[in-house]
Structure 1
């Protein structure tokens, strides 16, 4: 009988390298990833403890057979997709050289993925922030000269704070990753 477990763990769009390492640690402890259930549920199945490399690729489009075949040709096992992220793994013993440890071994591909993440994830959030959240928050503040603590005011202030956190945390982290990749990370 297969033993399975579910772990709840939240990673932002800028934490994908940490997510890869965490999945590798889980596999080393004898739990291989079966699938991801949005937003933050990881389903694992018991397995032998192995040195395995996990890699994530952000596509944000339908996975094609050609795309999967390309990774399969390089020894990567496709595990599934979640919110545009495609999950792959490879046994460490199948790694012939250091470049085989990463899906993207060249700087341009790594930077291109970071830019794609920014365009498809951060840009829409910026549009929502400036087109909906800020105007509604300003309208509520002007309408009620004193902060009355209405549910709507609390809701928009909470969204404002959440979005600021996302922009600062993810924006700075993605910018740092891009710089590290350029500098030869």
Structure 2
């Protein structure tokens, strides 16, 4: 049986580029990703160190046979699906042009994927924030220990959601602007 390890890393929906870079470095160090368990558990298997490009695509409706065949035709190995993200990899030695190392053939496709992430992941988070966290955070009172604990939890959620929404909104908008400018 081969050697395995689990690493814990947390990436937001806007950090997919950083995740790709990290996975590539892990593979260069002799650890290939074999499984991703939400929210942050990466299962690796020992392998020969190799420069392998990792790419993620967001398809919340699962794998489409035509899409998967197209990726296979372009020598992308599909190996994992996790919470709407499809994980692909390809040896860097097979990349001869800039487009060979990318899943998207044009910037419009990349911008459409980012817009899809915003619509399917970020907007629901915003809705939960506005409908559940904000109204409960306004009910803060210190009448009992239970209310104080509830108030602390709501305050932590409020700060977490504000950070998450601002971070993801700014980063996804920046990514979308970068690909539409090119």
TM over 0.5: yes
Taking the aligned partners of 1:86 and 1:25, their CA distance within structure 2 comes to 19
Aligned residue for 1:40? 40
SS across alignment from 1:150: helix
Taking the aligned partners of 2:38 and 2:127, their CA distance within structure 1 comes to 23
Taking the aligned partners of 2:64 and 2:180, their CA distance within structure 1 comes to 29
Aligned residue for 1:132? 132
Structure 1 stretches lacking a partner, 5+ long: none
Residues 1:5 and 2:5 aligned together: yes
Aligned residue for 2:100? 100
How far the C-alpha of 1:147 sits from its partner, in A, is: 10
Aligned residue for 1:152? 150
SS across alignment from 1:180: helix
Give yes or no for contact 2:142–2:148 (8 Å, CA) kept in 1: no
Give yes or no for contact 2:35–2:42 (8 Å, CA) kept in 1: yes
Aligned residue for 1:77? 77
Written as runs of structure 1 = structure 2, the 5 A alignment for 1:117-128 is 117-128=117-128
SS across alignment from 1:118: helix
TM-score (norm 1): 0.92
Structure 2 stretches lacking a partner, 5+ long: none
Aligned residue for 2:14? 14
Task: Count residues in correspondence.
Answer: 181
Taking the aligned partners of 1:145 and 1:36, their CA distance within structure 2 comes to 42
Q: RMSD across aligned C-alpha pairs, in angstroms?
A: 1.6
Taking the aligned partners of 2:29 and 2:94, their CA distance within structure 1 comes to 19
